[in-house]
Amino acid sequence: MNTLIKPVHISLISLVLFLSASLGLANDEPSPEIPEGVVKLTKVDPARNVGYLMGDILDRTITLEVKKPYKLIETTLPIVGYEHRYQGQVSGIELRKISHTKKESNTSTVYVVQLSYQVFATAPTVKPALLPAEIVKFQGPSTSEAKDGLVQYRIPEFYFRSSPMAVFGAVKIEDDMSPLRQPLLLQAYPVKQKLVACLIILGLSLLGLLYIVGARAWLPLMGKPFAKAVRQTRKLSPKDADALKTALLSMHQAFNTSAKYSVFSDNIAEFIAQKSSFKTIEAEMRQFFALSHQVFFETHNASSDEAKSLNWVKSFGKQCRDCERGLKPAKQNKA
Amino acid sequence: MSEKKLTDWRQHAQKLEAEINKVVVGQQSPIRLITTAIFSRGHVLLEGDVGVGKTTLLRAFTRCIGGGYQRIEGTIDLMPNDLVYHTYLGEDGKPHVSPGPLLMSGENLSVFFFNEINRARPQVHSLLLRVMAERTLSAFNKEYHFPHMLVFADRNQVEKEETFEIPSAARDRFMMEIPILVPDDNAIMESLVFDTKFHNVDALVDSIQADVLQFDQLNEFSALLQARVDASPTLRQYALNLWRATKTPSDYGVKVSGVDMNRLVLAGASPRGMSMMMRAARVNAWLNNRDSVLPEDIHAVFHSTVAHRLVFSPVYEMRRTEIARELLSGIVNAVAAP
């Protein structure tokens, strides 16, 4: 197996290892401080600095405005999961999330770094703790101090106090069961808010479902064929082209959909036998078919007063809608 | 002038129907259809059980139409030449040839009545095909024309022995195939059995007024009628949709119980069939005192003009009457107009 590795391969592997080691050293080794006035720091630290328990999350927003030609080396930003040590001991503060944005202008570049730390340290008493200082590096012009142009900047730490989960030795449940003390309650407000939001979403979904199931009508009776036809014909004006034809077509469609077969003047009796509520408007139905015949089939006998006929069809539609809903339809004048 | 003609002829048609209704009771619908066929100049095939009055009905119409009337009985040994001539030995002892039923009345032949048509052989059907379609016949080195001729035929749908199925090409020549059913009204049934006037068919037929129509003017009037009754674009579209539905009923969602709709129809209505349907629909509109065809006019003649033209898969032929009725009703129900 060893015979397969040629001296050339060994040289190449060595070179790669050497280069990566040199780069690692370049990143880890301290560099000269960035000249004063090049970086302008703005930071937003957590609102309070006491009372943090294990598991709490602390967010920091660091804004670095860096004059050109300095550029942030993004690989020098802290990495998620890095366990910070203080005086050789694990500090119990862990970087949980990091993100950054970059915005360039003519003279400077603004880096906004969002850092999110989680507390894993706990102690029986209140202890000082800190969000560690982070050192980031910039690539700038070559100077006498930094010949390779690498300079560093230290983002200052944030001091706070971590609190114990319970006061050591002070709490003995058996001794502290006074009936006058109310039980410890969880914070219910956010949960209530979520519950209300979920209920609103559920309500809207049910309404949507009702709308779909009800043939896209908000009320159960709205989706019926004649109700639809009335909605379609209501907006028609005598000035519209073919308004009367459109209205008649809507009504024919409603009759056909309602009966589930094509309704003609020769099967009105069959339709009424099927839907007895229409019996009261049998004469109007015959009048409707006579008008339809005039418009569609006896074109040379078509009525000249289309507006009057259109109004008649509209009110006939309402009569049909009433019959469809089981109501007593209003009487109307002849067309 | 033509308006007056239309009105006058309508009165004649109403008179014709009234006369026939006097002697053939409970058959208003077939009588209206035959009247329609007469004014559309189309041949008619009646189908029904034995003794339901098919022959009486056709004889009554024949009397009212006037003109030459010839009749032949379909038998298994009937040959085409029997329709054209017959030979006999004369009193002088010599053989003679005289014209057969088709030629006997010459151009005045108005009704050729073929009784029990399904008993005749296919050769006879074949001769009839030409006579019905072209109203001409070649015999004795001469072309004979029958411009006024209508063929009325009947067949018994019960008996199948010694009968020949009429080929679809021959069926297509008939404008209408009309089923004759026994009326189910008690009063009519009682009258048919107990009223003695129905016992003697010859006397019954002779009791109606003869020559109500002028047979030799029917062609001219029919052309006028067809020209004067209008069919609007919406109606035309409706008729075309009906035609398409007879070809591919499943495309229109038509279903017949117990039938695979994709296998049922081998051929829908023919163009000739649809044009005959429209001719009959125009006549129906005119009979109802209208000058435009309505969908209802088509419905009135749809079954009788289309059902016999449909060609079904052989597996469904035995149930033809029942399936055709359900299929055509389904088509009328499925196709909307407008």
Task: Give pLDDT tens digits for A142-153.
Answer: 888 888 889 999
Residues B303 and B270 in one domain: yes
More confident residue, A25 or B210: B210
User: Residue B69 sits in a domain of what CATH number?
Assistant: 3.40.50.300
Residues B250 and B320 in one domain: yes
* Of B22, B217, B27, nearest in space to B110 by CA: B217
The predicted pLDDT at position A330 comes to 74
The vertex-B203 CA angle with B198 and B205, nearest 5°, equals 80
pLDDT tens column, B136-177:
988 888 888 999 999 988 887 777 777 888 878 888 889 999
> What Cα–Cα distance (Å) separates residue A196 from each residue in A204, A205, B90?
12, 14, 114
Residues B25 and B129 in one domain: yes
Q: Do B337 and A253 touch (CB under 8 A)?
A: no
Average pLDDT of chain A, as a whole number: 84
Q: What percent of chain A has pLDDT over 70?
A: 83
* Identity of the amino acid at A228: K
B323 within domain boundaries: yes
What one-character-per-residue DSSP string does B287-329 give? Answer: HTT-SB--HHHHHHHHHHHHGGG-EE-HHHHTTHHHHHHHHHH
B109 within domain boundaries: yes
Q: Sign of the CA dihedral A203, A209, A215, A220? A: negative
C-beta separation of B164 from B119 below 8 A: yes
> Which residues in B lie closer than 8 A to residue A264 (C-beta atoms)?
295-296, 299, 337
Residues B71 and B115 in one domain: yes
Q: Judge whether B29 is closer than 8 Å to chain A, CB to CB.
A: no
- Average pLDDT of the residues in B187-204: 86
Residues B319 and B235 in one domain: yes
Q: Judge whether B294 is closer than 8 Å to chain A, CB to CB.
A: yes
Structure tokens at A119: 């507390």
The predicted pLDDT at position A25 comes to 44
3-state secondary structure at position B162: coil
Ramachandran area for residue B46 (φ above 0: left; ψ -120 to 50: alpha; else beta): beta
Q: Give CA–CA dist A114/A44, Å, rounded.
A: 10
Q: Judge whether B332 is closer than 8 Å to chain A, CB to CB.
A: yes
Residues B156 and B204 in one domain: yes
B222 within domain boundaries: no
Cα B103 from chain centroid (whole Å): 21
Q: Give CA–CA dist B279/B272, Å, rounded.
A: 10
pLDDT tens column, B58-109:
889 988 988 888 888 888 888 888 889 888 998 888 999 888 888 888 888 8
Residue ending a domain, among B170, B190, B216, is B216
Residues B313 and B280 in one domain: yes
In angstroms, what is the C-alpha Rg of chain B? 21
Is the pLDDT reported for residue A214 higher than 70? no
Q: Select the residue of B293, B300, B333 nearest A297 (Cβ to Cβ).
A: B293
The b-or-e profile of A225-244 (16+ CB within 10 A means b, else e) is: bbbbbbebbeebeeeeeebb
B293 within domain boundaries: yes
> Which residues in B lie closer than 8 A to residue A251 (C-beta atoms)?
none
Which pLDDT band, with edges at 50, 70 and 90, does B211 fall under?
confident
**A65 backbone dihedrals φ, ψ, rounded to 5°:** -100, 115
B255 within domain boundaries: yes
pLDDT tens column, B276-320:
999 999 999 999 999 999 999 999 999 999 999 989 888 888 888
Q: Judge whether B285 is closer than 8 Å to chain A, CB to CB.
A: no
B224 within domain boundaries: no
The Cβ of residue A277 has, within 10 Å, a number of other Cβ atoms equal to 16
Q: Do B294 and A249 touch (CB under 8 A)?
A: no
Question: Please, which contacts does B235-241 make with residues 24 or more away whose CB atoms are closer than 8 Å?
Answer: B235/A296, B235/A297, B235/B292, B235/B293, B235/B294, B235/B295, B235/B298, B235/B337, B237/B337, B238/B295, B238/B298, B238/B335, B238/B337, B238/B338, B239/B274, B239/B277, B239/B278, B239/B281, B239/B298, B241/B335, B241/B337
Which pLDDT band, with edges at 50, 70 and 90, does A303 fall under?
low
- Average pLDDT of the residues in A101-130: 90
Structure tokens at B193: 């059995």
pLDDT tens column, A177-190:
777 777 777 888 99
Residues B124 and B272 in one domain: no
Q: Select the residue of B232, B300, B336 nearest A256 (Cβ to Cβ).
A: B336
Among A288, A296, A301, the residue to mutate for chain B (most B Cβ within 10 A): A296
Range of the domain at B309: 229-334
* Identity of the amino acid at A163: S
C-beta separation of B81 from B38 below 8 A: no
Residues B17 and B145 in one domain: yes
A147-161, A220-234, A311-325, B15-29: which has the minimum mean pLDDT?
A220-234
Dihedral of the alpha carbons of A229, A235, A236, A241, in degrees to the nearest 10: -120
Q: Sign of the CA dihedral B15, B18, B23, B27? A: positive
Among B29, B237, B292, B331, the residue to mutate for chain A (most A Cβ within 10 A): B292
Q: How many residues does chain B have?
A: 338
Tokens 């609190």 sit at which residue? Answer: A163
Number of domain units in chain B:
2
Q: Do A264 and B337 touch (CB under 8 A)?
A: yes
Which pLDDT band, with edges at 50, 70 and 90, does B55 fall under?
confident
Is the pLDDT reported for residue A299 higher than 90? no
Q: How many CA atoms lie within 13 A of B308 on its CB side?
A: 26
Q: Do B291 and A298 touch (CB under 8 A)?
A: yes
Residues of A with CB under 8 A from a CB of B: 245, 248-249, 252-253, 256, 261-262, 264-266, 292-293, 296-301
3-state secondary structure at position B56: helix
Non-local (6+) Cβ contacts of A285 within 8 A are: A268, A271, A272, A278
Among A248, A270, A297, the residue to mutate for chain B (most B Cβ within 10 A): A297
Is the pLDDT reported for residue A206 higher than 80? yes
C-beta separation of B334 from B252 below 8 A: yes
Pairing of strands A134-139, A150-155: antiparallel
Which pLDDT band, with edges at 50, 70 and 90, does A4 fall under?
very low
Residue ending a domain, among B192, B216, B240, is B216
pLDDT tens column, A69-97:
999 999 999 999 877 787 788 888 999 99
The predicted pLDDT at position A31 comes to 85
* Of B210, B178, B199, nearest in space to B69 by CA: B210
The predicted pLDDT at position A173 comes to 66
The predicted pLDDT at position A218 comes to 63
Residue of chain A whose alpha carbon sits nearest to that of B297: A266
Residues B201 and B302 in one domain: no
Q: Do B299 and A266 touch (CB under 8 A)?
A: yes
User: Residue B300 sits in a domain of what CATH number?
Assistant: 1.10.8.80
* Of B234, B254, B230, nearest in space to B244 by CA: B254
B190 within domain boundaries: yes
Q: What percent of chain B has pLDDT over 90?
A: 38
> What Cα–Cα distance (Å) separates residue A168 from each residue in A92, A95, A129, A172, A183?
19, 28, 19, 10, 21
> Which residues in A lie closer than 8 A to residue B235 (C-beta atoms)?
296-297
Which pLDDT band, with edges at 50, 70 and 90, does B8 fall under?
very high
Is the pLDDT reported for residue A22 higher than 80? no
> Which of A60-69, A214-223, B71-80 reaches the highest mean pLDDT?
A60-69
The predicted pLDDT at position A117 comes to 93
Residue ending a domain, among B169, B194, B216, is B216
Structure tokens at B52: 């339901």
Residues B84 and B203 in one domain: yes
d(CA A256, nearest CA chain B) in Å = 8
The predicted pLDDT at position A21 comes to 45
Is the pLDDT reported for residue A235 higher than 50? yes
> Which residues in A lie closer than 8 A to residue B299 (C-beta atoms)?
264, 266
- Average pLDDT of the residues in A257-277: 92
Which pLDDT band, with edges at 50, 70 and 90, does A327 fall under?
confident
Q: Give CA–CA dist A140/A68, Å, rounded.
A: 8
Helices (H), B135-196: 168-173, 186-194
Residues B33 and B135 in one domain: yes
Is the pLDDT reported for residue B215 higher than 60? yes
The b-or-e profile of B46-68 (16+ CB within 10 A means b, else e) is: bbbeeebbbbbbbbbbbbbbbbb
Structure tokens at B224: 């006028």
The predicted pLDDT at position A23 comes to 45
Q: Do A262 and B296 touch (CB under 8 A)?
A: no
> Which residues in B lie closer than 8 A to residue A299 (C-beta atoms)?
230, 232, 292
Q: Give CA–CA dist A106/B19, Å, rounded.
A: 109
pLDDT tens column, B245-271:
999 999 998 999 888 888 898 888 999
Q: Do A262 and B337 touch (CB under 8 A)?
A: yes
C-beta separation of A78 from A146 below 8 A: no
What are the percentages of helix, strand and coil residues in chain A, rounded to 5? 40, 20, 35
Q: Give CA–CA dist B181/B282, Å, rounded.
A: 26
Q: Give CA–CA dist B40/B223, Å, rounded.
A: 9
* Of B306, B40, B300, B76, nearest in space to B168 by CA: B306
The predicted pLDDT at position A27 comes to 52
B210 within domain boundaries: yes
Q: Judge whether B335 is closer than 8 Å to chain A, CB to CB.
A: yes
What one-character-per-residue DSSP string does A206-270 give? Answer: HHHHHHHHTTS-SSTTTTSHHHHHHHHHHT--TTSTTHHHHHHHHHHHHHHHHHTS---GGGHHH
